[in-house]
Amino acid sequence: MSNYLENLNWRYATKKFDTSKKIAPSDFEKLKEAMRLSASSYGLQPYKILIIEDKDVRTKLKAASWDQPQITDASHMIVLANMTDFGDALVDDYIDNVVQTRGVDRADLKDYAQMMKSTTVALDKEKKAPWSAKQAYIVVGNLLSAAADFKIDACPMEGFENEAYNDILGLKDQDLNASVVITLGYRSKEDDTQNYKKVRKSESTLFKTI
């Protein structure tokens, strides 16, 4: 943890990956666990984390990403797909998990389950996707920080044709939507971006104490 801020300064949105370097399976498992442990509203995790390994699929997705090389050059590719619609099953599955994990009585969770349903499942359909997308973005922040801590490079990407991704990955039929992409691997020596000074707002500009 003493190197946490140093590692955040080290990270940047990698533009060119070294195609000869791959993330070790043991390290990728750590990144997966970091994503799994991400916070979400009520712990419901209303999204799916897609790990895109198929080379042909990644080639198709590259074409739908304005031919950005990270899509095929990076060691790993993640697509975070948020739920666009959901019903009681989202909460019921979570309650099942709580019962199994904590060994509590389901009856004791009845009111809590109903409360979650009244604030999430009861949302108008057009409000469900924006809510779930916000939850997915928490995973992005967690993944970027974890990757930096393991000295693994990453590039969060919104530069892609959303509808094309949904079609290629068959997401619509699953009430899912490709909201953000993260490519992971190791920076190329040829990526000049790594030498740029990090630009962020100053503390006095960004923070306001009330």
Cα-based torsion angle of the residue sequence 61, 67, 68, 70 in order, rounded to the nearest 10 degrees: 50
Determine the pLDDT at residue 4: 94
Determine the pLDDT at residue 129: 97
Q: CATH number for the 4-86+127-206 domain, one of 3.40.630.30, 3.40.109.10, 3.40.190.10, 3.40.50.2000?
A: 3.40.109.10
Cα 65 to Cα 19, 71, 158, 175, 200: the distances in Å are 18, 8, 9, 22, 26
Interior angle at CA 158, CA 54 and CA 31, nearest 5: 55
Determine the pLDDT at residue 9: 96
| Residues counted in the chain | 210
Determine the pLDDT at residue 91: 98
8 Å CB contact between 194 and 9: no
DSSP string, 126-190: HHHHHHHHHHHHHHHHHHHHHHHHTT-EEEEE--S-HHHHHHHTT-GGGTEEEEEEEEEE-B-TT
Determine the pLDDT at residue 117: 98
Handedness of CA 123, 125, 127, 130 (dihedral sign): positive
Please give the structure tokens belonging to residue 162. Answer: 């959303």
Domain ranges of the chain: 4-86+127-206
Determine the pLDDT at residue 1: 52
Tens of pLDDT, residue by residue over 11-33, are: 999 999 999 999 999 999 999 99
8 Å CB contact between 87 and 120: no
Residue 20 carries which DSSP code?
Answer: T
8 Å CB contact between 94 and 144: no
Please give the structure tokens belonging to residue 26. Answer: 């043991």
Q: Which helix (H) or strand (E) holds 21?
A: none
Q: Which helix (H) or strand (E) holds 197?
A: none
Stretches where the chain sits below pLDDT 50 are none
